[in-house]
Structure 1
Amino acid sequence: MLTFSRELVMREHAGMLLWAFLVGLSFPVVGWLEALPPLTLTALRFAIACAGLWWLARRSAGFWPAWRTLPIYGVMGLCLAGFFSAMFWAAHHATAISMATLYVTVPLLAYAMGLVLGVERRAWRMPAVLLLGACGALLLALAEAVVKGGSFRFGRGEAVFFLGCVASALYPVISKWGLARKKLSTSAAVRTFWSLAMGGVLIGALGLAVEPVGKLAAMSGKDALVLVYLGLGSSALTFWLMQHATAALTPGAVTAYGYLVPFVSMLLLFAQAPGTISWIWLPGSLLVVLTIALLASGRAGR
Structure 2
Amino acid sequence: MASRAPVRRAHLGMLAWALLVGLSFPIVGRLGELPPLSLTALRFAIACLGLWALVHRSPERRPARCAWPWLVAMGACLAGFFGAMFWAAHHATALSMSTLYVSVPLLAYGMGLAVGVERLAWRLPAILALGALGALGLAGAEAWQRGGQWRFGAGEAVFFLGCLCSALYPVLSRRGLVAGHLPASAAVRTFWSLALGGVLVGALGIVVEPVARLATMSGRDALLIVYLGLGSSALTFWLMQRATAVLGPASITAYGYLVPFVSMLWLFVETPSRLDWVWLPGSALVVLAIGLLLAGGEEGADDGHAGAAEGGERRG
Give TM-score, length-normalised by structure 2. 0.93
Find the counterpart in structure 2 of residue 66 from structure 1: 64
Find the counterpart in structure 2 of residue 210 from structure 1: 208
Find the counterpart in structure 2 of residue 297 from structure 1: 295
Find the counterpart in structure 1 of residue 219 from structure 2: 221
Root-mean-square deviation over aligned CA pairs? 1.2
How far 1:146 sits from its partner (Å)? 1.3
Find the partner of 1:51 among 49, 67, 73: 49
**Residues 121 and 301 in structure 1, CA contact (< 8 A), matched pair in contact too:** no
- SS of 2:212's partner is helix
Find the counterpart in structure 2 of residue 119 from structure 1: 117
Find the counterpart in structure 2 of residue 104 from structure 1: 102
Find the counterpart in structure 2 of residue 255 from structure 1: 253
Find the counterpart in structure 2 of residue 244 from structure 1: 242
Find the partner of 1:271 among 269, 272, 278: 269
**Residues 108 and 127 in structure 1, CA contact (< 8 A), matched pair in contact too:** yes
Find the counterpart in structure 2 of residue 21 from structure 1: 19
Find the counterpart in structure 1 of residue 307 from structure 2: none
- SS of 2:47's partner is helix
- SS of 1:257's partner is helix
Distance (Å, rounded) in 1 between the aligned partners of 2:280 and 2:35? 37
Ranges of 4+ aligned residues in structure 1 off by more than 4 Å: 299-302
Task: State percent identity of aligned pairs.
Answer: 68
Change (3 A) 1:300 1:191: closer
How far 1:149 sits from its partner (Å)? 3.2
Distance (Å, rounded) in 2 between the aligned partners of 1:71 and 1:8? 28
**Residues 86 and 164 in structure 1, CA contact (< 8 A), matched pair in contact too:** yes
How far 1:61 sits from its partner (Å)? 2.3
Q: Which amino acid aligns with 2:139?
A: A
Give TM-score, length-normalised by structure 1. 0.97
Unaligned stretches of 5+ residues in structure 2: 301-316
How far 1:301 sits from its partner (Å)? 7.4
Find the counterpart in structure 2 of residue 10 from structure 1: 8
Distance (Å, rounded) in 2 between the aligned partners of 1:189 and 1:149? 43
Q: Which amino acid aligns with 2:216?
A: A
Distance (Å, rounded) in 2 between the aligned partners of 1:216 and 1:91? 19
| CA deviation map 1:117-156 (0-9, x unaligned) | 1000111111111011000000011101112332110000
Distance (Å, rounded) in 1 between the aligned partners of 2:299 and 2:155? 35
**Residues 21 and 236 in structure 2, CA contact (< 8 A), matched pair in contact too:** yes
Q: Which amino acid aligns with 1:285?
A: S
- SS of 2:174's partner is helix
**Residues 67 and 183 in structure 2, CA contact (< 8 A), matched pair in contact too:** no
Superposed counterparts of 1:110-149, under 5 Å: 110-149=108-147
Find the counterpart in structure 2 of residue 176 from structure 1: 174
**Residues 7 and 297 in structure 2, CA contact (< 8 A), matched pair in contact too:** no
Q: Which amino acid aligns with 2:202?
A: G
Distance (Å, rounded) in 2 between the aligned partners of 1:84 and 1:287? 28
Total equivalences in the alignment: 300
Distance (Å, rounded) in 2 between the aligned partners of 1:292 and 1:73? 29
Change (3 A) 1:142 1:26: same
Distance (Å, rounded) in 2 between the aligned partners of 1:49 and 1:119? 28
**Residues 126 and 300 in structure 1, CA contact (< 8 A), matched pair in contact too:** no
Find the counterpart in structure 1 of residue 29 from structure 2: 31
**Residues 83 and 164 in structure 1, CA contact (< 8 A), matched pair in contact too:** yes
Change (3 A) 1:300 1:123: farther
Find the counterpart in structure 2 of residue 165 from structure 1: 163
| CA deviation map 1:177-203 (0-9, x unaligned) | 011001111101000000000100000
**Residues 136 and 283 in structure 1, CA contact (< 8 A), matched pair in contact too:** yes
**Residues 4 and 248 in structure 1, CA contact (< 8 A), matched pair in contact too:** yes
**Residues 270 and 277 in structure 1, CA contact (< 8 A), matched pair in contact too:** yes
Q: Which amino acid aligns with 1:134?
A: A
How far 1:300 sits from its partner (Å)? 7.4
Q: Which amino acid aligns with 1:282?
A: L
